Structure 1
Amino acid sequence: MLPPDLAPSRPTLPPPPPPPEPRAEIQAYTARAGDSLESIARSFKVSEADLREANPQVFGNVPPALAHPDPQIDPGTALTIPAAPMSALVDEPLDTGFNPTYPSSNSEYTVGADGQTGGGALTWNPGDGSVKLGGSRIATPPGQAETAAVQWEARADTAVTLGQTNKDGNTEVTVEVQYTQSVGVEAGTRTSRGVVEGEASAGAGGRARYKVTLPGENQNPELAARINPFDPTTIPEGASVTLDGQNFVQGELAGSFRHIGTATRVTEAAGASYSVERVDADHVRVTMGPNAAVEAFNGVGLRSDIATAMLGRQDNLGDQAVATATFDLSSADGQAAYAHFVATGEVAHETAGVGDVATIEKLDYASQTRLQLELGPLSADLAGAQNTGAFVRTTYPDGSSAVTMDLRYSGNVPLSVTQRFDAEGVELVDERAYEFELSTDHDVDLSWWDNLLGRSDAEAEAALEQSHAELLNWAINGGATGPAHVRPGETVTLQFSEDQLAALLDQTRTAAAANESGMDALALLAGGENGMLANGTMDFAVAMARNLGGDDYGFAQRLFDISQGADGDLGDRGAVPLDVTIERD
């Protein structure tokens, strides 16, 4: 257990503005120079149709098909503004765009060594496109004998990481700095059954990260070096900058008996994050607030003087509570509000030049298998299967909120669920939405035997992609062709409303009941032998993402099986079209 006085303090964020009083059904507004139907509707978050209907004296009773799409309005014109719907129904849910945990999800390879007074290490992470250079200074108590049963040392470690990688069609350039001071003890004794050894250390330090995201892949990193994160005019359109810093405490324990070893490392951190995105020429979105993180590795394996191999699990938990707003820098009011927000973290939702005001609470979770190997000066930290989850609540000034949940189990298809709540916290169930992203693109590496028979990798890939697309088309359209035709190699998002997913659950139960062989994958999806799911569609969606065999091809096969048995007969060679909306990337 770490000493309480070493626990880092968590910065506090000024409380968000209180929800405004419910607005009257009718509100007066006097048009200003440059106002139009579109600009006023956007400003008050009402539809253009509702604004026209509330002001026939201005826009007339012209049918929408014949009306001017965005008429100019003379300054001084009196308008009636109808009540806007709650923000949760109008605005898209937001995200912070960053994760306060630091461990990488990719494999790392290190060469380094320690001497009596110091050492160094060079680490390469091909997945992150990063290189880390680390150095350490080591001090031992005066007069400590090298043969003493208990060895003490104090360390000061510094590491700098530089990285550049392509992600989601963008280029990410990252600089990370970390400094740690620690005290460690190592002890060992020989018993009649073997040697028992143990190590323990406790330390504290700080870490900071600076990340620039540039639109487009393989961008010149010099573009990132020209950006001033506190001067939005230096940020290209579509680019963003994120800074976060944390203080942390860290504890490590390791032990071995007869070369069977265990290792535990826990890091607790807290700090603050700042992110600014250049939305377009005139607008920037800023997000700022405190964060906290807990990172833990627990492993078991083999330890010896020559080599170490530890197989374990890395768990990371990140927590954020931030404020966000979009500022119009083309206006003096927006510029002043931006400067005030950066300085204090405070923003009023009714300030001129400010929009998209919200608070965001986010919880990130990741659990991953890791294999850590050491052999002399060489070491490797190999990444295995990973489960991830992100839970984000966006709360708007009117008290309504939107919650998004993103889950991915190892290599399975990712699931995203969006829920919307009114100001009293009651979910608007009809607004719930589920999304599964599937790719029919495949990379095939054939065996030497296949190549000997004349099959090429390209031919095998084309055949697999064609088969994958056909499974989806039969499930969605009830046949090989239809209005929602998926092409081989394409990535699509399957979108279900609450009613659509409830219908898919009923079809899954029908298909499972038609299988006389007993328990199968569809029966598990339908809720097991008793067909019960505690939370209905929500549990069903998670089961679709979680169950084994839920990779892109297996997911398409599962939908095909559901459509084949949705009429209660698995042997009639007919398929029932599944009610789903297709969105193409």
Structure 2
Amino acid sequence: MHLSASQLGYVPSVTPQTEPTTHQVAHGETLPAIADQYGVTPQALRAANPELFQDKWRLDEAQQSGRADPIFYGDTLRIPAAPMSVTAEPMESPYEASHGTSNSEFSAGMGSVKIAYNPGDNATKVTVTNEAAVEGSSRVGFKISTESSLEIGWVVKEGKTEFTVTGANVNKTHAEARSGQLEAEVSVGAGFRARYKVILPGGDHDPKEVAKINPFDPSTIPLGATVIMDGQYYTQTEIAGSFRHVGGESEIKDASGVSYSITRTGSNQVQIMKGPSASIEAYNGGGVRFKGAGGVEGSLTVGQQINVGDSMMRTATFDLDSAAGRSAYTNFVATGEAEHGAPGVSDVATVHRLDVSSQGRLKLKLSAGEAEVEGDIALRASTTGTYTQTTYPDGSIALTSEFKYGNNVPLKVTQRFDAEGNEVRSERTYEYTVDTSGLGNHSAQQINWVLSGGASESGPAIPGEKVKLTFSEGEMRALNAQAEKAGDTYAPGNSIASLTDDGDGHSRSTFAFAVGLSRTSNQDKYGFANSLLEISYAADGHMSRGDFDRISMDVEKHNAK
């Protein structure tokens, strides 16, 4: 189901043009409004029409008549082609440079072998450690070890099946020191890790399908599937200490390398991404260490896991039906270079992706002799941010910023900039993904209610489904104004007022308001729609009449990509 802007009473804008055109100024039109119609910036219109905007008579006339720009009824404006960031869709990178997980992991070991299982990722990891003690003193001990691990995961999420194999090998030097009730441990290491991931559309797949795929032979890759390979060298530092059983620990892993991704987008068409990557994975926590009867030792720490991943991928799509496309594909795999506009080549761009996540974790370790068990438990849903910048051949940029605060609804903001860095504000959108499933979840009815201005609980939002709510910049600005009015209507200190006030008595920007609406939804999937309902109810300045203001947005069923 879909409710378009035109169905809500909005006049659709002129489609942005890939070629220059002209526009005759009508009564009352302003330069920003004309720029919005064609998906360009006012700065671009001024640069394209210097004879109008640099004419002294016109400037004086505009000033005397109170106009912001020297354009008048009947003028003909040259409209430049819209930047590629407007006429092309922003790209998404399937590659996340960090190897961290937001799910809990449990492990058990005996001697040199440890087996770990992550239920959320359906992943099993086997680690083998070979240690050699180095002669020390009664208070200080040293060990040198080699640790090798292999992890295999097979999971269905967001309508796709992901198969992942990760291997790592690291050499570590470990030192321990004890003095009375003071204990300290330091470990430093350097290693290499490699990951192979296959993402298949749909959830009904036989693992044997993966074995048939050759990432360098596109004909073996199913339509819509993606294969990702990366390798990273890394260093890691682990520090732990305790005094009178109270202690803390810190772990930092710093990695960098290269990545390669191939997606089969058509019957004989592939998109390739290739480039450098880097990540930092850090945990800091505090807790207790203890010794029990029977030689049992253990530790319990609570802390914060922070992961940062960064990749810069050169990308292009190749038509393998043509000889030119096949030749360009081979050259790109070898060099990472492709020429925009070359035969058999399309969608050339650079995609820069940055991922940031933060999550509370509880770590429990117990050991007795050669046996040990561990639990690395996620305390709550992680707070994440993903920023993807697509730079097109004309120098223009599309930027998508995705936010998710714990269990609140995720928000995706899309912005588009011209080659000079000016944002095309009319093209900015805000997209929320709302899950309406679950007993007692009335989000779908509430969304339909505010869409209709209190006329009906039926509409495009279907209970039990995920829906995407998309606001244009103008619609979000209008919602911000409605929230300001509603905040003034409710009692002082209400939650709606906090969305629009920056804390210093000033109004929040549209962007900050949109982010706040996602962040302050009571840490559940119900709060967002309820906030919309509260805004709709009081936006007219009255509560006793029970009138509702209509909130304008696009609503469509969410289809996992």
Give the TM-score normalised by structure 2: 0.82
Q: Secondary structure at the match of 1:473?
A: helix
CA RMSD, Structure 1 to Structure 2 (Å)? 1.7
Pairwise CA distance, 1:168: 1.4
The answer (yes or no) to whether the contact 2:445–2:458 under 8 Å persists in 1 is: no
Matched, 1:510 2:500: no
- 1:307/1:511 Cα in 2 relative to 1: closer, same or farther (>3 Å)? same
Partner of 1:493: 468
Pairwise CA distance, 1:173: 0.6
1:427 to 415, 423, 426: 423
CA distance in 1, matches of 2:147, 2:544: 67
- 1:478/1:257 Cα in 2 relative to 1: closer, same or farther (>3 Å)? same
Q: Secondary structure at the match of 2:285?
A: strand
Pairwise CA distance, 1:189: 0.7
- For 1:430, give the aligned amino acid: S
CA distance in 2, matches of 1:572, 1:474: 16
- For 1:504, give the aligned amino acid: L
**Unmatched 5+ residue regions in structure 1?**
1-22, 27-81, 443-460
The answer (yes or no) to whether the contact 2:461–2:556 under 8 Å persists in 1 is: no
1:564 to 529, 532, 537: 537
Q: Secondary structure at the match of 1:539?
A: helix
Q: How does 1:258-407 map to 2 (within 5 A)?
A: 258-305=244-291, 306-376=297-367, 377-385=372-380, 386-407=382-403
CA distance in 2, matches of 1:369, 1:437: 24
Pairwise CA distance, 1:487: 2.2
Q: Secondary structure at the match of 2:266?
A: coil
- For 2:115, give the aligned amino acid: L
- For 1:334, give the aligned amino acid: G
- 1:126/1:482 Cα in 2 relative to 1: closer, same or farther (>3 Å)? closer
CA distance in 1, matches of 2:307, 2:192: 18
CA distance in 2, matches of 1:533, 1:546: 17
Matched, 1:128 2:121: yes
CA distance in 2, matches of 1:529, 1:315: 28
Q: How many residues are treated as equivalent by the alignment?
A: 474
Pairwise CA distance, 1:353: 0.2
1:478 to 438, 445, 453: 453
Partner of 1:106: 103
- For 1:426, give the aligned amino acid: N
Partner of 1:524: 498
1:158 to 148, 154, 159: 148
The C-alpha deviation readout for 1:498-524, integer Å capped at 9, x for no partner, is: 110000000001001011x21111010
Q: How does 1:117-196 map to 2 (within 5 A)?
A: 119-142=112-135, 144=136, 148-190=138-180, 195-196=181-182
CA distance in 2, matches of 1:401, 1:349: 16
- For 1:127, give the aligned amino acid: G
CA distance in 2, matches of 1:391, 1:218: 31
Partner of 1:581: 554
CA distance in 2, matches of 1:572, 1:108: 53
CA distance in 2, matches of 1:204, 1:329: 41
CA distance in 1, matches of 2:342, 2:426: 33
CA distance in 2, matches of 1:85, 1:240: 31
Pairwise CA distance, 1:571: 2.0
The answer (yes or no) to whether the contact 2:349–2:392 under 8 Å persists in 1 is: yes
- 1:24/1:371 Cα in 2 relative to 1: closer, same or farther (>3 Å)? closer
- For 1:521, give the aligned amino acid: S
CA distance in 1, matches of 2:459, 2:85: 29
The answer (yes or no) to whether the contact 1:544–1:550 under 8 Å persists in 2 is: no
Give the TM-score normalised by structure 1: 0.79
The answer (yes or no) to whether the contact 1:519–1:529 under 8 Å persists in 2 is: no
CA distance in 1, matches of 2:329, 2:165: 26
The answer (yes or no) to whether the contact 1:440–1:469 under 8 Å persists in 2 is: yes
**Unmatched 5+ residue regions in structure 2?**
1-17, 22-78, 292-296
- For 1:540, give the aligned amino acid: F
- 1:528/1:348 Cα in 2 relative to 1: closer, same or farther (>3 Å)? closer
Q: How does 1:407-446 map to 2 (within 5 A)?
A: 407-442=403-438
Q: Secondary structure at the match of 2:120?
A: coil
Matched, 1:226 2:225: no
Q: Secondary structure at the match of 2:501?
A: coil
The C-alpha deviation readout for 1:117-153, integer Å capped at 9, x for no partner, is: xx110000010011000000001125x56xx110100
CA distance in 2, matches of 1:530, 1:183: 52
- For 2:472, give the aligned amino acid: S
The answer (yes or no) to whether the contact 1:484–1:582 under 8 Å persists in 2 is: no
Pairwise CA distance, 1:526: 1.1
CA distance in 2, matches of 1:479, 1:185: 68
- For 1:553, give the aligned amino acid: Y
Pairwise CA distance, 1:338: 0.2
Identity rate of aligned residues, in percent?
40
1:85 to 82, 85, 89: 82
CA distance in 1, matches of 2:242, 2:521: 35
- 1:529/1:565 Cα in 2 relative to 1: closer, same or farther (>3 Å)? farther
CA distance in 1, matches of 2:443, 2:84: 40
Pairwise CA distance, 1:483: 7.9
Q: Secondary structure at the match of 2:531?
A: helix
- 1:84/1:482 Cα in 2 relative to 1: closer, same or farther (>3 Å)? farther
Partner of 2:13: none
The C-alpha deviation readout for 1:426-464, integer Å capped at 9, x for no partner, is: 10011100001101101xxxxxxxxxxxxxxxxxx2xx1
Pairwise CA distance, 1:282: 1.7
The answer (yes or no) to whether the contact 2:538–2:548 under 8 Å persists in 1 is: yes
CA distance in 1, matches of 2:539, 2:523: 20
The answer (yes or no) to whether the contact 1:172–1:211 under 8 Å persists in 2 is: yes
- For 2:324, give the aligned amino acid: D
- 1:379/1:509 Cα in 2 relative to 1: closer, same or farther (>3 Å)? same
- 1:170/1:394 Cα in 2 relative to 1: closer, same or farther (>3 Å)? same
CA distance in 1, matches of 2:307, 2:488: 40
Partner of 1:8: none
The answer (yes or no) to whether the contact 1:509–1:531 under 8 Å persists in 2 is: no
Partner of 1:55: none
